[in-house]
């Protein structure tokens, strides 16, 4: 998918849900830390995800697992820029996204061909990020998180998690609009696993229709391989990779309940889940697009 097509999709509520592949070029991410830290490994993984059906690839140079400490901009850039430069011209149908909260990292990535900013702080960590998105006219994903990655899982509490997450996301969307971001380029993410207990995560998933009605913006859902899945399903042979079956259930549920984008590690399998769920909901199978 080329960037102009992505912008057109944002304005089309009937477009099929998109699959966003996760590419962490970090030594310490919760699921795949270190696997794609080298440029060659990261490039190979990006090409494989595109071939498996990724509409977007979300590149991140900072781990935001529970308990993690922040990574300075210069280190994030050291990790991501060689990968972006090596990918230039090799993913003509795939939109690239940068997973960062820092404007200097986002701007350097945009200069290298990235089209979307994915900010887990929803513009709170760096006051220059939302004006950057406005100036560069790029889509931005705003996520809810209670606390910081270092503290978010210590004791997350809510009176009504869905109402509070919706209120936060609406406030941050308004902040983005006030900074000059085109309202049609704002996506929101309830932040599954970011400052939530198992029950909070399950409640947010159950309440996706309510959340969608409250925020009225494209919804990004990232449940892939997260710890709450293991806590529900129990330990299974094979470690985190075998959370893919629990992940598949959450992806199907999210698509059936209005998700616009699903952010996943196992692109090939989850693209099948998205396609099958969509066919059940709408009837018939949409044409398979070429990678």
How confident is the model over 229-264, as pLDDT tens digits? 989 988 766 555 578 899 999 999 999 999 999 999
pTM (2 decimals)? 0.90
Helix, strand or coil for residue 141? strand
pLDDT at 291: 40
Q: Which of 65, 172, 263, 275 is catalytic?
A: 263
Domains annotated for the chain, with CATH where assigned, are 3-10+17-63+84-278 (3.20.20.20)
Catalytic one among 226, 243, 244, 275?
226
pLDDT above 60 (res 29): no
Per-residue pLDDT tens digits for 124-177: 999 999 999 999 999 999 999 987 776 667 788 899 999 999 999 999 999 999
pLDDT, residue 16, reads: 80
Secondary structure element (H or E) that encloses residue 22, with its range: strand 18-24
d(CA 273, CA 243): 14
263 noted as active-site residue: yes
Q: What share of the chain is helix, strand, coil (3-state, %, to 5)?
A: 45, 10, 40
* Pairing of the two strands 186-189 and 56-60: unpaired
88 is catalytic: no
pLDDT of residue 265 exceeding 50, the answer is yes
- Split at pLDDT 50, 70, 90, the class of 290 is very low
């Amino acid at each position: 998918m080329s960037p102009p097509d992505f912008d057109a999709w944002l304005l089309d509520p009937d477009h099929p849900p998109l699959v966003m592949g996760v590419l962490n070029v970090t030594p310490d991410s919760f699921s795949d830390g270190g696997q794609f830290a080298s440029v060659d490994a990261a490039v190979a993984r990006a090409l494989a995800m595109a071939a498996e059906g990724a509409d977007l690839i979300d590149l991140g140079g900072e781990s935001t697992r529970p308990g993690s400490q922040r990574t300075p901009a210069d280190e994030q850039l050291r990790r991501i820029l060689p990968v972006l430069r090596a990918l230039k011209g090799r993913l003509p149908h795939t939109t690239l996204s940068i997973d960062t909260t820092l404007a200097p990292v986002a701007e350097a990535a945009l200069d290298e061909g990235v089209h979307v900013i994915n900010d887990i702080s929803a513009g709170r960590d760096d006051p220059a990020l939302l004006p950057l998105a406005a100036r560069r006219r790029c889509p931005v994903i705003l996520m809810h998180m209670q606390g910081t990655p270092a503290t978010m899982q210590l004791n997350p509490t809510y009176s009504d998690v869905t109402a509070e997450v919706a209120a936060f996301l609406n406030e941050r969307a308004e902040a983005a609009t006030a900074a000059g971001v085109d309202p049609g380029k704002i996506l929101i993410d309830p932040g599954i696993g970011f400052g939530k207990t198992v029950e909070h995560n399950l409640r947010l998933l159950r309440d996706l229709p309510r959340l969608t009605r409250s925020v009225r913006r494209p919804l990004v859902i990232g449940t892939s391989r997260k710890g709450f899945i293991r806590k529900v399903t129990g330990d299974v042979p094979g470690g985190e990779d075998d959370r893919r079956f629990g992940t598949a259930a959450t992806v199907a549920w999210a698509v059936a309940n209005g998700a616009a984008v699903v952010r996943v590690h196992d692109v090939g399998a989850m693209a099948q889940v998205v396609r099958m769920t969509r066919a059940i909901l709408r009837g018939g199978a949409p044409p398979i697009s070429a990678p």
